[in-house]
Structure 1
Amino acid sequence: MAQDRALATLIGGALGDALGMPTQLLSPARIRSSYGFVDGFVVPSEDHPVSKGLPAGAITDDTEQTLLLGRILLESVESFDHKRWVGALVDWERDVKARGSYDLLGPSTKRAIDAINDGVPPEEAGREGDTNGAAMRIAPVGILMPPEPLEALVTKVAETCRATHNTSIAIASAAAVAAAVSHGIAGCDWREATRHAVDAAALGAKHGHWIVGPNVAARIGWACELVRGKSAAEAIGVIVDLVGTGVASQQSVPAAFAVLEVAEGDPWQAAVISANLGGDTDTIGAIAAGMAGACAGTAELPEQRIAELRGIDLDEVRALAADLVAARFSQAGGKEAA
C-alpha cells in the first residue's frame, strides 16, 4: 500500500501541475473566456507569459523540482546536504533554460541562491523566503518520513526549507503538506490527513525566522470550513475571493486544502478545481492532487490522463517512489505496513 500511495502522490502532483500549466497566472475570467471550464489538458495561449510553447499535458517546475528534491533526499538521508541541494537547483535552472523554458525559479528560491552565490550561509539565505516554493516540492519528505513522531517529520521539513524558505510561514505551509502526504502513505483518508496537517502547520510555525503573516494552521482549517458542502463552482468563487490563489504560502496552501475538501479526496477532481481557480493554478493543483493521491492510491488516478502527461519519465517516478518508501521503512524500523 505505501509504495502505491507514494507513486500516486508523485503522479497526482504531476497531473495537477500539468492541468494547471496553461491557466497559471490568468484570472478566472480569462480562463473562462480562453478555455471555458478546464477539465482536460489544453495548449497554453501563444501569448502566455510563462507557458507559451509547451504542449498540452506538460509538467512544469513544480513536478521537476519535486522529483529533484526526492533524489537529493535519498542522497543525504541522515543530514540534508544544503550545498548539494542548492547546486542541484542551479544546475536544473540552467538545464531548463537550455531547453528553451523561461526563468522558473520562484522569487524566494532565486533570491536565496543569489545570496548563497554571494557568500551568505545557507541558514541565512532563506530568511525572507515566504512563498510557496517549499510547499510545492515537499511531497518527497512526506513520503520519506513516517508520520510519527510528528516533531521528526517537521524537523526534516524545516531542514529542507532552510536554504531557500527558512521562515515560519513557509515552513508551516510545507509541514502541513508533508504531514498530509505522510499520513496518506500510512493509510489515512484525506479528512484525517487534513487534521494532522493542521497540527503539523502549528508545529512548523515554530521553526525558521518569524515573519509577519497570518497563522497558516488556522487558515487551513478556516479555508476548509468555508467550502465544506459547496459545489465546485461555488467553492471556486469562495477560494478566489476569500482564501486567495497567489504565490504567498498563506494563500496557496490553504487554497490547496480547500480544494482537497471540495474534491472529497479525488485526485483528478482536485486537479480540475485547481486549474479553474486562476492565479498559481499549477502549484495549487500539484499540492492538492498530490495530497489526494497520497490518500487514495493509484486506483483513483485516471489512466488515460496519466498517458497524456508530457515531460515526465514514469519509470523514473516509480523508482523514486520505491526508493523513498524503502528509506521510510528503514527509518521506521519496519513498523509501518507495506
Structure 2
Amino acid sequence: MDRKTVYDKILGSMVYCALGDAMGAVTENLSFDQIRDKYPGGVRELIAPDKTAFAYGNTPGQITDDFSQTYLLTEEIIKNNGVISPDCVEEMLIRWSNIPKYFNRFAGPTTRSAIAAIRAKKEGREYVVNEVIDYARQATNGSAMKISPAGFFNPGDVDKAIEDAVCVTRVTHDNQLAISGACATAAAISRAFDEKASVYDIIQAGIYGARKGEEIGMRISRTVGGPSVTERIGMAVAIAMLPESKEDRLRKIYNPVGTGLHVSEAVPAAFGIILICDGDNWESVCEAVNVGYDTDTVAAIVGSIVGALKGTAGISEELFEILNRENEIALEETAEKVTALVYDKMK
C-alpha cells in the first residue's frame, strides 16, 4: 500500500469519527422515531444541536467528548513516537479535564473517577474507589469511542491493535466487556488497512477482536455482568443480512440490539449499521447519526471504522475547514504525523 493511501485512511478514520460525533450530537437522546419526526429525511449535514441534546450550545461541526479524547490521545501517542502506553492515556485525560467545554459538559462518572485517581497518583495522594458500584458501571461505550488510535497506529497488525486497545481501555474502563468492545473496534480499524480488505473482512476482524478482548479481560481485568459483545455483534450482523428494507433493519439495530451507553449495545450496533450500508463511509455515518439514543458515540465508532476502510471519500474541503476551525484542530497535519510514524513499519 502506498504512503498516500495510508495517509488517506488515517485521515479518513479521524475525519469521519469527528463528523459522526458532531452530527450525532444533534440527535443524541432522541428515539428512532423522534428523529424521523423532527428531522424528516434525517440529519445529513452539520447543524447546531438544540435543547434536546447534551451538546446544546455547540456550533455546527463542534465535537464532544468522543472525538476530542480521540484527537488528544492521538497527539499524546505522536509525542511518544507512536508508542501507546498508559502514560499517553493519562496525559490525554489530564489535558482533556483542563478544557472546560469538554470536561464540564461531557465527562461521565467513569471518566471523572479515572481522572480523579490519576490526579491523586500524580500528586502522591491516595484515591479510594468504591468497587461495589464503580466497576459495574464501567462497561460503557466510552472504551470504544476513543480507541481508533490503537487501530491506525497499528495498520494491518490486528493482534498489536488489540494489545494496545487493552492498554488504553484499562486506564478508564477496566473490565472484560469494555475491553472486548474496544478491541473489536481497534481490530476492525487495523484490518481496514489491508489492501484488499472488504466490509466483511472488517466485520470478521471485529468479531475476532471482541472475542480475544473478552478472553484477555477475563484473565487480567475485572469481570462484570452484561451481554457478550461478541454474541451481540453476531446478532447485529444477522439483522443486517435479513431480506428486509434498510429502514426495517436499522429499526432492529435500534431495538433489540440497542444503541445506548452500554458497550454491548453501541459497538454491535456500529457493526450492524456498517454492514447494512455495505461499508459506505458517508451513508454509514449518517445512518448511525439517525439511529437514535447515543448517536454521537455510535456514529463516532462507525466513522472511525469506515473512514479507515474507505478513506476521505465524500468529505469536501469545506467540511475539513469547518471541523478544523470550530474545534481548533488540524486534522490533515495530525494525520500526516501519524503516517510518518507508522508507514515504515508497514513495509
Normalising TM by the smaller chain, what interval?
Answer: 0.7 to 0.9
Q: What pairs with 1:45-124 in structure 2 (closer than 5 Å)? A: 45=50, 47-76=51-80, 80-97=84-101, 102-118=104-120, 119-120=126-127
Q: Aligned match of 2:206 in 153, 176, 197?
A: 197
Q: What pairs with 1:174-253 in structure 2 (closer than 5 Å)? A: 174-187=182-195, 188-205=197-214, 206-207=216-217, 208-228=221-241, 229-253=243-267
Q: Aligned match of 1:139 in 148, 161, 186?
A: 148
Q: Aligned match of 1:325 in 334, 339, 342?
A: 339
Greater shift, 218-227 or 242-251, is seen at 218-227
Residue identity matched to 2:342? R
**Structure 1 residues 79 and 19, CA gap change in structure 2 (3 angstroms):** closer
SS in 1 for 2:203: helix
SS in 1 for 2:259: coil
Deviations 1:277-327 (A, max 9, x none): 11110111111122111111223445554455462456x222222222332
* Aligned equivalent of 2:278: 264
Aligned length: 327
Structure 1 runs, 4 residues or longer, greater than 6 Å off: none
* Aligned equivalent of 1:22: 26
* Aligned equivalent of 1:275: 289
Is the 1:4–1:298 Cα contact (8 Å) retained in structure 2? yes
Measure, in 2, the Cα distance between the counterparts of 1:271 and 1:151.
26
Residue identity matched to 2:79? E
Q: Which structure has the highest helix share of the two?
A: 2
- Asked if 1:41 corresponds to 2:46, the answer is yes
Residue identity matched to 2:7? Q
Measure, in 2, the Cα distance between the counterparts of 1:96 and 1:186.
39
Measure, in 2, the Cα distance between the counterparts of 1:299 and 1:30.
30
Is the 1:139–1:290 Cα contact (8 Å) retained in structure 2? yes
Measure, in 2, the Cα distance between the counterparts of 1:242 and 1:323.
41
Identity %: 30
**Structure 1 residues 302 and 264, CA gap change in structure 2 (3 angstroms):** farther
Is the 2:289–2:295 Cα contact (8 Å) retained in structure 1? yes
Residue identity matched to 2:60? A
Displacement, 1:49? 4.6
Structure 2 gaps, min length 5: 121-125
Measure, in 2, the Cα distance between the counterparts of 1:147 and 1:204.
17
- TM-score, normalised by the number of residues in structure 1: 0.87
Is the 2:17–2:302 Cα contact (8 Å) retained in structure 1? yes
Deviations 1:185-229 (A, max 9, x none): 233122211111111111111222222222212211220111225
**Structure 1 residues 43 and 328, CA gap change in structure 2 (3 angstroms):** same
Structure 1 gaps, min length 5: none
Is the 2:82–2:341 Cα contact (8 Å) retained in structure 1? no
Measure, in 1, the Cα distance between the counterparts of 2:89 and 2:198.
32
* Aligned equivalent of 2:177: 169
Is the 1:127–1:164 Cα contact (8 Å) retained in structure 2? no
Is the 1:139–1:178 Cα contact (8 Å) retained in structure 2? yes
- Asked if 1:159 corresponds to 2:163, the answer is no
Measure, in 2, the Cα distance between the counterparts of 1:78 and 1:95.
24
